[in-house]
Amino acid sequence: RGVEAAFIPDADDIVDVIRESAEPGDVVLIMSNGGFGGIHDKLLDALARVDAG
């Protein structure tokens, strides 16, 4: 219904896709029952690098 969604099973690939496509103001929801390869820290680091230029 107009909402983009994707299933990407690898944490590093997820970080890459989000880093390449996220724009300011976007909401990113990560649902996991565990640490999932450190995705939270990896994603924050990747997005911080994008913000830094």
Domain boundaries, the chain: 11-52
pLDDT confidence of residue 38: 92
Q: What are the C-alpha distances in Å from 39 to residues 2, 3, 26, 27? A: 26, 22, 18, 16
pLDDT confidence of residue 24: 86
Angle, CA of 4, 21 and 28, to the nearest 5°: 60
pLDDT confidence of residue 28: 87
pLDDT confidence of residue 12: 96
Confidence of residue 42 (pLDDT cuts 50, 70, 90): very high
pLDDT confidence of residue 53: 66
Q: State phi, psi for 36 to the nearest 5 degrees.
A: 45, 55
Q: Is pTM beyond 0.85 here?
A: no
